[in-house]
Structure 1
Amino acid sequence: MDPTSGRRAAENGLSARERTRRKIIEAAIDLLERGGRDAVTTRAVADAAGLQPPALYRLFGDKEGLLDAVAEHGFAQFLAAKDLTGTDEDPVRELRTGWDTAVEFGLANPALYVLMYGEPTRASAVFRMGLEILMERIRRLAAAGLLRVGEDLAAQIINATARGAVLTWLSLPENARDPALLTTLREAMVSAVTTEEPAVREQGPAGAALALHASLPEQNALTSAEQHLLAEWLKRLYE
C-alpha cells in the first residue's frame, strides 16, 4: 500500500469530528510554515480548511487552543520519526542518532519546531512521552557506566544543544550555514554527557554510583523506601 492510500484508509476510520479537527490542524501547520505564527489567524485557518470560524472555536476554544493542538501534532510527528525500539547495543551511538533525528526534524519543520520548543508552556503529554524516551536512553548510558553527569543534567544538556543547534542554524543566512556546526555541537554534547570508557573502570566511586543508580528501578530486592534512601546516597557520590 502506498503512503497516500494508507493515509486515506486511516482517515476513513476517523469520525467526522476527528477528520475536521485534523483538517484544521493541517491547514494551520501549512500557514505556520509558509507565513510564521502571525499568519495563523482563526479566519485564515478557517478559510484554508474550507470552514467557518465557529468550527474552530467549537473544537479548540480559541487560537491558543489551536496552537496547542498544532504543537501536540508536531510532537506526535516527531515521535513517529524516532526509533523507539531501544535495540541499539551501543548506547553512545544511540545517543548520537537520537540527537541527529531531533535536529533533522527541526530543520525540516522550522516554524513548527519553534512553536513546539520555543514556548515551554506548550509541553504536552506527547512531549512528556518523548522526554521519558530520552530518559530511558540516558539510563542505558548510566547502566553501562558511560554517563559522565547526573541523569537530569544529561537530559538538559542534550535538549539544550539540540535546540541551540536548530535555532542557531535557522538564524543564519543560507550561505553561512556550515554542517560542521551541527557535528561540532553534537560531539560537544557527547563529550559533556558521556565518558570515553565505562566510568566504572575509573578510580573512585562516582562511575559505579552512576551505574548503580540507573539500575535501581530494575531491581526488586529493596523496598521503595530503601530504594529512595540508596538513591540519595548514590547521588551524593556522583554529584
Structure 2
Amino acid sequence: MPPGPYRWFVVAELVLAAVTFVALLFVVAPYGGRHGRPGWGPTVPARVGWVVMEAPASLAFLGFYLLGAHRADLVPLLFLLLGQAHYVQRAFVYPLLMRSGSRMPVLVMLLAILFNLLNAWVNARWISEYGDYPVSWLADPRFWIGVVVFAAGYALNIGSDRILRRLRRTGGGYRIPHGGGFRFVSSPNYLGEIVEWTGWAIATWSLAGLAFALYTVANLAPRAMANHRWYRETFPDYPASRRALLPFVL
C-alpha cells in the first residue's frame, strides 16, 4: 500500500475536484480571450501564461517519475509516453501556435501551476513507484481499452484546436466554428481532454488516474457550459442542435 502522505495527496486532488466544480458553476475562469475581464490582478500574455503553467505538468511529471523504483519498467514507460504526448504538446507546442493577443491573470496561472504540481506527483509517483504494472499488464483489456480511449480523446482535442486556429487565420474576431467535433458540441477540445484522461484512468486502473479524470471533468465541464452560453448569446444563428459538451445530451 502507498504510504499515508501519498494517500492524502490523492484525497486532496479529489477534494480539489469538488471545490473546483462548485466554484466554476458561479465564476467563469478568465483564462483570456472571450472570457477575459479586468479585476483579477496583474496579467501576462496568454502565450507566456500557457507555457509557464503547463510546463510543470510535463517537466515535474518526468522528474517525479524518475524517482520511482519502476522507472525503467516497460509499462510505466508507456504510461509516461502517454502523459508526455499530451503535456509536451499542451505546454510547448500549443502556445507557439496561438494567434491570440489576449492576456491571462497571473493568479489563474499560479493556481494552474499548483494543480499541475499536485497532479504530477500523484500520477507520476503512482505509475513509477506505488503501482504494480508487470509486463503482463499489456495483456489486460483495461490497458488496451484505456489506450484506445486516450488516443481517441487526444485526436479529438488536437483536431478541434486545429479547427479553431484555422478559423482565426481566415479573419479577425470570433466566428462560429464548424466541422469535426464542432458539428455536435461547442467545446470538442474540452470533450477530447476529458476522454483522454478517462482513458488514462482506465489504462492505469488507479485511484490516482480516477482523481485526474474527475478533476478534468470538474474543471472543463463548467467551462464548456460557459462557452456554449457565450456562443448562443453572441451569434443569433448559432446551431440550435449543437450541445455544450456531450453530443445530443448536454
Instruction: Select the structure of larger CA radius of gyration.
Output: 1
Q: Which has the higher contact order (CA 8 A, sep 6+)?
A: 2
Query: Higher helix proportion, which one?
Result: 1
Asked if Structure 1 and Structure 2 have the same fold, meaning a TM-score greater than 0.5 normalized by the shorter chain, the answer is no
**TM-score when scaled to structure 2?**
0.24
Superposition TM-score, scaled by structure 1 size: 0.25
